[in-house]
Amino acid sequence: MKEQTIASPVEFSGIGLHTGEAATMRILPAPAGKGIVFRRVDLDNFELRADVGSVERVAYATTLMNRGVWISTVEHLLSALYGLGIDNAFVELDNFEVPILDGSGLRYTEAMQRVGIVALEAERSVMRITKSFALEENGKTLAIHPSESFSIKYEIGFPHPLIGDQKLEVEITPENYSSLIAPARTFGFYEEVEQLQASGLVRGGSLENAIVLTEKGMLNETSLRFPDEFVRHKILDLLGDFALIGQYVQGRIVANRAGHALHTRFVAELLASTDHWTIMAGEGCIKVS
């Protein structure tokens, strides 16, 4: 399969979930081999590559940094790019936090599908998992196993009547991502909002960009998009963090109550564990040692 990019630019404006600051963002086509590269247009087009080596913080969102320049809350955008099979793109941003939009990956996904996704000349290389790899941390687990496709199985548990125990397994294809995962919104608990805002977080949060849960229900007047929207959003987040691996993967991910910190640690340690995977390039297999 060939590497891909978008056919023409798309633009978004909105506020950051945590800063509450306005930002405009453009996604533009990029050549083969470029990967996903952020450009801070407010800082002389400073470039920051979306890879796990750039991860700086993972508290309630994933933040990248290089030479003191930040890009924050990247996971929903990266999830949409990875889920749609887009290998290469420039992302221009005039502030340091990506617009949260409606709290899901839906608007990113719809916009990129609307302009179209095009194949480039270069063959896509794929990381093929050959041996299971797993991490466990404070009762949270994340693993990847050999498979003939790429899929995610995620399980969560919250003592809340709208959530409880939820689990879902999805094969990640552009079609499945856009219909089953992209619409799932981020969520949080009303009782935690004041404390989070005092810590400089969720200052842009509202019922327009998040599901806000009360003790027995939710504040949003609209209904859930899926009965299990919460676990679907966890898959969305995981996919956005997994995109920092920088290439497509053939394997089955199994996650239980993981989060951004474990997601990004998992990507870094999997990359370093070269006896668990090989690189498939075109029709051939490149042994990594």
Per-residue pLDDT at 88 exceeds 80: yes
The pLDDT assigned to 289 comes to 42
Residue 92 has pLDDT above 60, yes or no: yes
Q: How many residues does the chain have?
A: 289
**For the segment 113-138, what is each residue's pLDDT rounded down to a tens digit?**
999 999 999 999 999 999 999 999 99
Q: Determine contact, residues 114/6, Cβ cutoff 8 Å.
A: no
**CATH C-level class of 125-286:** alpha beta
Architecture, CATH, for domain 2-122: 2-Layer Sandwich (3.30)
* Tens digit of each residue's pLDDT (9 = 90 or more) over 255-284: 999 999 999 999 999 999 999 999 998 655
pTM for this predicted structure: 0.95
**Residue 194, pLDDT score:** 78
Which pLDDT score, from 0 to 100, does residue 200 have?
77
**Res 285: pLDDT:** 55
Among residues of the chain, what percentage have pLDDT more than 70? 97
Q: Kindly provide the residue ranges of all beta strands, DSSP E only, lying in 130-276, ordered along the sequence.
A: 133-137, 140-145, 150-158, 164-171, 187-189, 211-213, 248-256
Give the integer Cα–Cα distance in Å for 243 and 137. 21
10 versus 286: the higher-pLDDT residue is 10
Whether 287 shows a pLDDT value over 60: the answer reads: no
Catalytic residue among 18, 76, 260, 276: 260
Assess whether 263 carries a catalytic annotation.
no
pLDDT of residue 284: 57
For 222-230, what is the mean pLDDT?
Answer: 97
Q: For residues 75 and 243, what is the distance between their CA atoms, to the nearest angstrom? A: 9
Indicate whether 286 pLDDT > 90. no
Rounded Cα distance between 275 and 289, Å, is 7
Task: Find all residues with CB under 8 Å of 278, minimum gap 6, and list them.
Answer: 127, 128, 130, 285, 286, 287, 288
Across 55-69, 80-94, 136-150, least confident range: 55-69
Domain-by-domain residue ranges, the chain?
A: 2-122, 125-286
